Structure 1
Amino acid sequence: MDFDKEELTREVLEALDVIRPYLQSDGGDITFVELTDDLRLKVKLTGACDGCPMSIQTLKGGVEMVVKQRVPRISEIVPV
């Protein structure tokens, strides 16, 4: 590993905190699950976001965009 996983995790959590109020305003939320060694971020959408037909668009078009802007090393965001 040529990165500090703890530092990247902190940066990811900060990025999720940026997007969280938007999800919460629609009755949803997001939970950090894991940052893998190949820099995939696993998250769980909760509340109204869990099972919502728009959740993949929210994840890819909103959450992934914000996280990758703030933490460019993240390769992708994967829902679990």
Structure 2
Amino acid sequence: MTSEEVKDNVLKALDEIRPFLQSDGGDISLLAIEEDDTLVKVQLKGACVGCSVNQMTLKSGVEMTIKKYVPKIEQVINIDA
């Protein structure tokens, strides 16, 4: 899988997740894909920023969905604004 294909698949994963975040007043943006396409940096926005369960959302929702699309992704991290 090329880097461009990895990015396209990560964006597809985020599109799958986005409606759930938006229904709670939040959103998510892709910031970068690094370390030979194994690390994804995202930014949670809106209500997700101050939410007490955003780390759980990030690991069990976002990371799991991204790994479904791109199995070689090892980690997804949130970069605060």
Give the number of equivalent residue pairs.
78
Aligned counterparts of 1:45 and 1:6: Cα–Cα separation in 2: 23
In structure 2, the partner of 1:17 is 15
Q: Is 1:6 aligned to residue 14 of structure 2?
A: no
Q: Aligned-residue CA RMSD in angstroms? A: 1.0
Aligned counterparts of 1:65 and 1:75: Cα–Cα separation in 2: 10
In structure 1, the partner of 2:33 is 35
Structure with more of its chain in helix, by fraction: 2
TM-score (norm 2): 0.91
Measured against aligned partners, the alpha-carbon deviations of 1:5-60 in whole angstroms (never above 9, x if no partner) come to 11100110011000100000000000000000331000000000012111000000
TM-score (norm 1): 0.92
Aligned counterparts of 1:8 and 1:37: Cα–Cα separation in 2: 12
Unaligned stretches of 5+ in structure 1?
Answer: none
Q: Which runs of 4+ in 1 moved over 2 A?
A: none
